[in-house]
Chain A
Amino acid sequence: MLSVREISAGYGEGDVIKNVTFYVKGGEVYVLLGPNGAGKTTTFRVIAGILPPSSGKVELLGSNIWENAEARRRMGYLPEGDKIYPQLSVRKNLLFFSKLYGVGEERLNDVMRKLDLLKYEGRPAGTLSAGYRKRVALARALIHDPQLLILDEPFANLDLNTVIWLRDFISSLLEEGRGVLLSSHIMGEIQHLEAFPCNVGIILNGMLRKEVPIGDLMRAIGGVDVLVRVDDMDKAVEVLSKKFSVRKGRTGIIVRINSYEDAPDIASALSSAGIRVYEIRTVDLPIEIFLKRTFAEA
């Protein structure tokens, strides 16, 4: 579906990414994993038709997207952050892009329904919660029914509920046979992709250093961490340590769980012990530490 061959690109002062090559098939997900500044966003900008490459080729379903702008119709791009028009209503945000892509009202309504946005259609998009702003951005990326979705750090700055919802949504896109290309520096949040054909490319200093199947990566991680903030920390540690691996952090308790699906168990264990829960959220394992620990050669 997507063929990225030896692309190099930069912003005028030398190349930021160098000779990046990888392939994505339909129904398959490719994760570009790397620390901040590694070149993930630059790579995506080249693939999405935003930043021209200094060399190399990007082909989507056989068309070079830099020679044929219409080929971009087959991909949807969700950049990091919302990137929506905050002052325009949800409907107008989507209507604009539906018109750009020649999409009818029916498809627009379908996408809004699918992403549960109809109830907010008249509200300025900037007044929505972070989770719903992400939905608007995702609706925009999907409005023209693209075969490839490019998602740059889709899980960043989202609450746990939205993360879980987004993970399920990405799974549904993969089930529909679409190709998904996403970047992340939060490994726990790509764990669910193990159920799909998924490769992970590790990018460091603008170069793709290693490609591994996601299964290998997940075995190396061995679970995900969540941060729990409660009113009685000592009691909470006592309760949670019966079921999970627990350690005290600076701002709360770090609980190691197998997957985010186990997060509700934390809440129920604490509330049945009469402990008040203020917050449960994801904790990022710094990717540099992970890479050092797992792929020393990278």
Chain B
Amino acid sequence: MRRLSYLNTLIKKELWLFISNKKNLALVSIIPAFVLFFTVVVPMLTGPRTYTPETYALALKYIKESSYEFGLTQNDVDKLGENAITFVTIFQLPPVLGIFAALAVFQTITASFMAEKSSGTMEIMLASPVEIEEIVISKALVGVLMGIITWMMLFLGMTLSLEYLSIKYIGKIWIPCMNYIWSMVILPISLLLLGLALSLFAGIRGSEFLAGLFIFTIMAAPIGIIMAVAIFQLPAQLFFLLLELLGGLSFLLSILIIAMSYKMIDRLSFIRNY
């Protein structure tokens, strides 16, 4: 890697461009707010009112049998009462959080690459003394920053909601368990990395088709896990195991794709499609 003397300036420019694009701002502010509203606020306000007596009993049984997986004791579940269902619903949302963090990274980076290629400003930067790696790194860093902001918003929203339920009904601060840390921190960061890797690949290759395909990939796996759990009534233990596998797989895949993308970086890849 050669000197990165222009990185600061390039990052500042990426931030200017990001802020000036309303779609980007919506992605890291309005969309997470909507997600939080529908996944946290609505379940907390309505509780399990939409459940039939059968599904309600089934849900409580499921929670009691696997309370440890959610960092709760049997006693905590009893104290939470019907709110245990809300607690567990929020607890099982991290795949959604990961999707949105990854999408924020993906959208920021691919949009930045595509815009610069199509407007021809990439050509201008290549004509300056800036190193090509600096251009890629600046875009990647700003994308990751936006992914982390999205993740933080959702993470804080979900964690504070769980703490609120715990303090109100159990009477103590809830200590996050390993499952929570894995699925709220490690899984989203791993998906965020996948978003970074795929966006670099799509951005460098300059393919909108690839970009669309990758968005589908990012969304399909976590949503598939949630749906599988709901449809086949998989035990909580298996749900968290699948999330761990997804996290590990996406981490390995990310490293592989980032290494591949790095090898593909050359001047031609930035101007061929233009």
Contact = CB atoms under 8 A, between A and B. Distances in A.
Nearest to B128: A100
Contacts of A70: 129
Contacts of B131: 69
Nearest to A152: B123
Contact of B123 (A79, A87, A99, A140): A79
Given A51-B267, A100-B129, A83 B124 contact: yes
B126 interface: yes
Interface of B: 6, 9-10, 12-13, 16-17, 20-21, 119-121, 123-124, 126-131, 267-268, 271-272
A232 B21 CA distance: 47
- Chain B CB count within 10 A is highest, among A50, A79, A97, for A50
B129 A72 contact: yes
Contacts of A69: 129, 131
Given A12-B272, A73-B129, A87 B21 contact: yes
A73 B127 CA distance: 9
Interface in A109-151: 124, 140
A87 B124 CA distance: 16
A50 B119 contact: no
11 contacts: A49-B126, A51-B267, A69-B129, A77-B124, A79-B120, A82-B120, A83-B121, A83-B124, A100-B130, A101-B129, A124-B20
B16 A88 contact: yes
A27 B272 CA distance: 34
B128 A72 contact: yes
Q: Is the interface of B mostly helix, strand, loop or mixed?
A: helix
The 6 A-B residue pairs with the shortest CB-CB distance, nearest first, are: A83-B120, A87-B20, A48-B127, A99-B9, A77-B127, A50-B126
A167 interface: no
Interface residues of A, number: 31
B272 A11 contact: yes
A84 B121 contact: yes
Contacts of A73: 129
A244 B130 CA distance: 52
Nearest to A72: B129
A233 to B, nearest CB: 39
B20 to A, nearest CB: 4
A11 B123 contact: no
A135 to B, nearest CB: 15
B43 to A, nearest CB: 38
Interface string A44-62: 0100111110000000000
A48 B127 CA distance: 5
A97 B128 contact: yes
Contacts of A52: 267-268
A96 interface: yes
A87 B14 CA distance: 12
Interface of A: 11-12, 45, 48-52, 69-70, 72-73, 75, 77, 79, 81-88, 92, 96-97, 99-101, 124, 140
A51 B9 CA distance: 23
Contact of A88 (B20, B123, B126, B129): B20
B127 A49 contact: yes
Nearest to B13: A96
Q: Which of B16, B119, B120, B129 has the largest count of A CB atoms less than 10 A from its CB?
A: B129
Contacts of A72: 127-129
Nearest to A68: B129
Nearest to A12: B268
Contact of A83 (B17, B20, B123): B123
A23 B39 CA distance: 67
B127 A87 contact: no
Given A51-B271, A92-B16, A101 B128 contact: yes
Contact of B119 (A86, A92, A97): A86
Nearest to A50: B126
Q: Taking each of B10, B127, B129, which has the highest tally of chain A beta carbons within 10 Å of its own beta carbon?
A: B127
Contacts of A49: 126-127
Contacts of A96: 9, 12-13, 16
A210 B6 CA distance: 41
Most chain A beta-carbon contacts within 10 A, residue among B119, B126, B128 = B128
A50 B272 contact: no
Given A52-B267, A69-B131, A79 B119 contact: no
A51 B21 CA distance: 30
Nearest to B8: A99
A2 to B, nearest CB: 14
A296 B44 CA distance: 83
Contacts of A75: 127
Given A52-B267, A79-B124, A87 B17 contact: yes
B183 to A, nearest CB: 37
A114 B131 CA distance: 30
B9 A100 contact: yes
Contacts of B120: 79, 81-83
